[in-house]
Amino acid sequence: MRARVTLRVVVASTDAPVSAGRHQTIPVEDPTWRDALEAVPRELFLDDTVFRPSGTQWEPVHRHTIGNDEWLRLVYQDTTWVTQIDGVAATRAPGPLADTPPPRPAPFPP
């Protein structure tokens, strides 16, 4: 039995707090799209830095800082990774950015 593949879309206005973002999950029923999404390694969709929520801030997490094994564990978690906040890419963030991270969406069922 194949795992259910979904595509998660995050929409956030640049003039609203990050916490105002909306999460939408779109099931991928078309076998062609599902096969393509399953075939491409997730780490290819991300740069080498992402933001993760840390209290009331967004903390940039760098691949070179946490190591390749931990990076891959992080990337393959069933979660949404933020790569840009209010025009600031995670790779260019000077440190944590203040804002209230949105609540995490519920994990996908297996």
CA–CA gap between residue 38 and residue 52 (Å, rounded) = 24
Q: How confident is the model at residue 107 (pLDDT cuts 50, 70, 90)?
A: low
Q: Does 6 have pLDDT greater than 60?
A: no
Alpha-helix runs per DSSP H in 14-99? 31-39, 63-66, 68-75
Residue spans of the domains in the chain: they are 6-98
Q: Which tokens sit at 55?
A: 């209290």
**51-75 pLDDT tens trace:** 998 888 899 999 999 999 999 999 8
CA–CA gap between residue 61 and residue 49 (Å, rounded) = 5
CA–CA gap between residue 45 and residue 109 (Å, rounded) = 22
Q: Could you tell me if 61 and 50 are in contact, meaning their C-beta atoms sit under 8 angstroms apart? A: yes
**Confidence (pTM):** 0.62
